[in-house]
Amino acid sequence: MAAEVLNALKPKPGGRYADGTLGGGGHAASLLAGSSPTGWLHGCDRDGAAVEAARRRLSGSFAGRFEIRQGNFAEMAGWIPAAICDGVLLDLGVSSPQLDTPERGFSFQHDGPLDMRMDVRQTLTAAELVNGASPEELAKIFWELGGERDSRRLARALANNRTRQKFETTRQLAEWVERLSPRRGKQTHPATKIFQALRIAVNDELGSLKRGLEAAMKILQPGGRLAVITFHSLEDRLVKGFGREQTRDYTCPGGVDVPELRQPRVPEMRWVTRKAAKPGAGELRENPRSRSAQLRILEKL
């Protein structure tokens, strides 16, 4: 959604931008190109390989115009000064290099270790969760983060199975799930939801997103814009909820919205567009992985 992001953030010479999810540096490069010759980019990614790829990509044409580091966007406000950014981008989820590198263990299309860490300096892996978490904890992860309806049965069976043989690889887990829940004509692989849930849990993706949205608020200056691309409903719900809170002109004491108890306050943001933007037909043809992407844009007041 490169064009939509540019249209949302409208980079200009001298502007300052933050990209919390550098990946291969595609969006970062277009923000720097759009803000030539004097725009500046602060960028980070949890994944050291992504940071290196982005550094290589940006060093040629944009040398001296960016500061990038490895880290969670939840911590952006710790190193980017408050209220200086004209635009902040969070392009959530996993990157193609992560999905396509078997050793990273994100996908069951290839066989690899059950890893799924975006930041390999972190100790918790998917294998540790699968082989170590209680059946109740696993059922909660499968249901809440994957929407897996059969979460309890799968979690109990998994806990039984691992006493005989630990789960070590992506294919081993995917094939085991398929044996327990055959496809019965469904197009998507029966392990898809389990893999999504494990990935979100291993990387604490929702906790990071909550903190990342707060961090973005801090580093944006008035008139600056926040663009967030989400890939599943849990992320999108969180962004919508954050936007709802920041854009309304009242607070709800105790966190419950009782109209009589509302306290007036000045909204801190406004929605730039009411509805989320989705990829067009051309992009879907070129990049089928973008099919669930949604872009939401907020402006700091």
What is the CB-side half-sphere exposure of residue 130 using CA atoms within 13 A? 28
Contacting residue, 1, 44, 139, 216, with ligand SAM by CB under 6 A: 44
Q: Residue 131: which residues within 8 A CB-CB, separation 6 or more? A: 162, 166, 167
DSSP state of 288: G
Total residues contacting ligand SAM by CB under 6 A comes to 23
Contacting residue, 9, 11, 17, 21, with ligand SAM by CB under 6 A: 21
Which residue's Cβ lies closest to ligand SAM? 23
H or E, element range at 237: helix 233-247
Minimum Å gap between C-beta 19 and ligand SAM is 7
Tokens of 245: 């809170």
**Residue 40, interface with ligand SAM (CB under 6 A)?**
no
Exposed/middle/buried for residue 281 (C-beta within 10 Å: 0-12, 13-18, 19+): exposed
**Residue 232, interface with ligand SAM (CB under 6 A)?**
no
Compute the distance between CA of residue 66 and CA of residue 297 in angstroms, rounded to an integer.
23
Contacting residue, 169, 208, 246, 294, with ligand SAM by CB under 6 A: 208
Contact indicator for 87, 225 with CB cutoff of 8 Å: yes
**Residue 235, interface with ligand SAM (CB under 6 A)?**
no
Tokens of 234: 């849990």
Per-residue exposure over 76-103, b if at least 16 CB sit within 10 Å of its own CB, e if not: bbeebeeeebbbbbbbbbbbeebeeebe
Contacting residue, 8, 15, 16, 23, with ligand SAM by CB under 6 A: 23
- Scanning 21-29, 173-181, 237-245, 278-286 for contacts with ligand SAM by CB under 6 A, the matching segment is 21-29
How many other CB atoms sit within 10 Å of the CB of residue 52?
A: 14
Whose Cβ is closer to ligand SAM: residue 107's or residue 181's?
107
**Residue 91, interface with ligand SAM (CB under 6 A)?**
yes
Whose Cβ is closer to ligand SAM: residue 86's or residue 205's?
205
**Residue 190, interface with ligand SAM (CB under 6 A)?**
no
**Residue 4, interface with ligand SAM (CB under 6 A)?**
no
Compute the distance between CA of residue 15 and CA of residue 35 in angstroms, rounded to an integer.
6
Minimum Å gap between C-beta 23 and ligand SAM is 2
Compute the distance between CA of residue 115 and CA of residue 254 in angstroms, rounded to an integer.
39
- Scanning 23-31, 107-115, 146-154, 167-175 for contacts with ligand SAM by CB under 6 A, the matching segment is 23-31
> Footprint of ligand SAM on this chain (CB under 6 A)?
20-21, 23-27, 44-47, 50, 72-74, 91-95, 118, 208, 212
